[in-house]
Structure formats: C-alpha cells, structure tokens
Amino acid sequence: MIPKKHIIDRFISYVTIDTESDPNSDTTPSSEKQWDLANKLVEELKSIGLEDVTIDENAYIMATLPSNVVHDVPTIGFISHFDTTPDFTGANVNPQIIENYDGKDITLNKEKNIILSPDYFEDLKLYKGQTLITTDGTTLLGADDKAGIAEIISAMEYLIQHPEMKHGKIRVGFTPDEEIGRGAHKFDVDKFGAEWAYTMDGSQIGELEYENFNAAGAVVTVKGKIVHPGYAKGKMINSMYIAQDFINSLPRLETPEHTSDREGFFHLHNISGDVEETTLQYIIRDHNKEHFEARKEVMIKLTEELNTQYGKNTITIDIKDQYYNMREKVEPVMHIVDIAEDAMRELGITPIIKPIRGGTDGSQLSYKGLPCPNIFAGGHNFHGRYEYVPVESMIKAVEVIVKITELTAKR
C-alpha cells in the first residue's frame, strides 16, 4: 500500500523529537518541547492536502479530509497523542532499523551490554523476517504513540492520492499530555464534530479494545521530625520508616508485576523523601468500578489507621480520579467496534479483543460524548529501553484505517 521506507522515514522524523510530558507542570501542553513536534505535524497535515488544519493555544491539532461521496456518511475520526511518558527518557532517541529480523537476540547497546532477547520478550518471535525499529538501549522509542500519528497521516495521504477510495468526512486529532492522564482534558469534542472515533494507540497487531481501567492517582505525604541523631531518642520521627509501613500494609500481590487481564492493582511509581518528609506517588487501577472505589477506600482507611498509631495528620493522602472504563459508553454503539473488527478480518488480521491494562485518550473522550475504541499501532514494550515496533505492523495499521473509512462509507 505505502512504501516501507516512506513510513519508516516519517516515524523516525517524529521519534527523534523529544516530547516528554511533565506531570508536575500545570500548563497545557505540560512541556514546552511538545510544541516542536506539534508545529511540525500541522505543517505536514497541510502539505499532504488536508483541510481545516488547526492548532489551538493548548497544542490540540485537528484536520479534515472531506467526503468524496454524495450520500450521507457518518463523520468519523482518528486520534493519537504526540507526548511520550515521563517514566523513561525520550531525549536523544537513536532508532535502529533491523532488516529481516532473524529471530535471535538483538544487541541494542554493545557498550552497555543491553540485549533485546526473544527468550525474555517472546512476542519478538512473531516478527521473524520482518523489519523492526528498536532503541539503542538508552532511551524509549516513542512508538507510543508516534507510530499512531505516522499511521494516521500515512492513511490520510493514501486516501488523498487515491480518490477512487470512497469515504465520508474524516477528522484527524492529535493531542498532548496523554501519558500523564490529561490528553483529552481540553479536547473540544464539539469542534471535532465526529460521531465516533478510533485512537490508534494499542500495541501488537490485531489489538482492538473498548474496555480500560478505571484510574486514579494518589499522593501520600508523610511528615516526620528531624533532630540531631546523637540526641534523637524519643524525639526524632523518621518519615521514611512510616512510609515503609504504609507501603508494606498494602496487598503485596496486587501490584502490576503480579496481575493480569482484568485484575486491578496499586502501583507505587515514585518515592522521594528524607527524615522530615516522604512522598509516595501511586496509581490505582481496576476495570470493575466497585473494586476501583474499594481500592481508594483501602488507602484512605490505611491512612487513618496509621495516623492513629503515629499521630494525627502524620500521613495525608490526596486521591484524584483520572479516567473511567469506556465500556459503558461504547457498548450502546457496538457497531463501531464491529466495523473495526470487520476491517481487520478483511485484511487477514485476526482481531485480538481484550481489555486495556491502561488507558487511552479514548476513555475520557467516550465520557465526553465521543465513543472511541482503541486500535493497535504495532509497538511493544512501551515506556522503556526495550521498546520496538515492526514496520509491517505499522503498514497494516494504515490499511486498517483505510478499510474502516471504506466500510463506514458502505453502511
């Protein structure tokens, strides 16, 4: 459909621009450097021939491919985000292209002895003989979600170049700050004007998802007292030890490394502190809404119990909901999932319909009135040095986008 080199070059031009978001910032976008890619995307959308290309004061990008049929067709959209996670550095990304992957270990960084091995990452075995794009072992890659952006733009370019492909009006949207849970916060659904959309933000080829976690973030602050350690008896209160009690009091096996499928978890992702004050940052996740609420209550009750032991207000907790399970909003319009599933099957792709162990912009957008299932973008091992994406999966994602527009125009 599209030349392999074309989508490789497009993708690499995106991932070599640092767009790491910043959870400690109150601005949108949360980091100034996200504008670098956002402005580039605006110019690229214009250059391929899309209409109504706009970028607002918060870096939300929208564009239109007009309908080329005379009958009424629902307006649909495709959405991806251009920020990368703050969990691992996305600066100075140096992609490596592995042609005709032989199914063996890939040396990402010889000097540091960083190996991407199918013995540990078994999904690699699915892509023997294909072209892989990997990191150099020192950064993430950014396929989450710059692969999705490359796929959407490539699909729109293909449709413009092939007017014989019949489709209705298509809207394109690119967002900042998805990785810190704010990607859809300032997304103008009315301005976007689609009846439904798809986020191109999934992982391996075939993924099609319309369930995700209910999500919250929790900041636990523990107060202590510092005095000279030589005279500390009965006076010093070490906040780090109390924080350790809090950590150990949560269910040890209800963490990401011990859960799968629809099992929820508590995830401690950051600790900072000293004797006087320690801060714990958690995320709380569960597909079941009742279990989600119960998890928040567990943390609140634990705070109260430890304050009884250590003194009032020794520990404070601030919990904020981030997004909810989109299933409730998608199930009444399941035909939009059916179209995506049919598109995959017609292209010889086996749909993998499963819950997302995470979230996408689509979860928040669905609650804002834009039902938004999630489709694979092709990458694996997101948010770390072992991230990679098969180019053939990206090309298939482009084909799925085009096929969805075709099937929508026929219904």
Catalytically annotated residues = 83, 178
What is the Cα–Cα distance from 232 to 163, expressed in whole angstroms?
78
**Residue 17: burial class (beta carbons within 10 Å; 0-12, 13-18, 19+):** buried
Position 210, amino acid: Y
What is the Cα–Cα distance from 119 to 230, expressed in whole angstroms?
52
CB 360 within 8 A of CB 178: yes
Q: Count the residues in the chain.
A: 411
For 224-292, where are the E strands, in sequence order?
A: 265-273, 277-286
Q: Choose among 138, 232, 176: nearest CA to 25.
A: 176
What is the Cα–Cα distance from 317 to 313, expressed in whole angstroms?
10
**Backbone angles phi and psi of 352, in degrees to 5:** -110, 95
CA 271-277-278 angle, to 5 degrees, is 15
Q: What does 160-226 look like in DSSP terms, one character per residue? A: HH-TTS----EEEEEES-GGGT-TTTT--HHHH--SEEEEEEE-STTEEE----EEEEEEEEEE-B-
What is the Cα–Cα distance from 145 to 376, expressed in whole angstroms?
10
CB 132 within 8 A of CB 391: yes
| Cis ω for the linkage preceding 29 (within 30 of 0) | yes
Quote the DSSP letter at residue 179: G
**Backbone angles phi and psi of 104, in degrees to 5:** -105, -175
Stated as kind and residue range, the H or E segment containing 410 is helix 391-410
